[in-house]
Amino acid sequence: MRKAGMSINEVKEKILSLKGREVEMNINRGRKKFESLSGIIKDVYPSVFTVETGESKSSVQTFSYYDVLCGNVIFVGE
C-alpha cells in the first residue's frame, strides 16, 4: 500500500542525493520476511537504483523507486 506524503519525484531526488554514500536499509521481502542491508548507492536510473552490498562488485541489488514509495524499502536514519 502506498504511503501518503511523498511523490515519486521526491523519492527520486532523495535517492539521487544519497548516491555514492553508504546507507542502511530495511527491506520487506514478503511473507513476514525482513532483511537489513547496508551498502553504497552506486547508480541511479530512471526506474531503478542499484546498491552495492559488499566487498566484491558482484554483490549488487536493484530496487525500484516504487519500493521506497510503498514502504517495502526503508532507509534507516534518514
Q: What is the pLDDT of residues 36-65, one digit of tens each?
A: 999 999 999 999 999 998 866 568 999 999
For residue 19, what is its C-alpha cell? 548516491
Report the pLDDT value the prediction gives residue 56, as an integer from 0 to 100. Answer: 60
- When pLDDT is cut at 50, 70 and 90, the band that residue 3 belongs to is low
pTM beyond 0.75, yes or no: yes
Q: Does residue 75 sit in helix, strand or coil? A: strand
DSSP letter string over 6-65? --HHHHHHHHHHTTTSEEEEEEEEETTEEEEEEEEEEEE-SSEEEEE-SSSTT-EEEEEH
Cα–Cα distance between 39 and 53 in angstroms, integer? 4
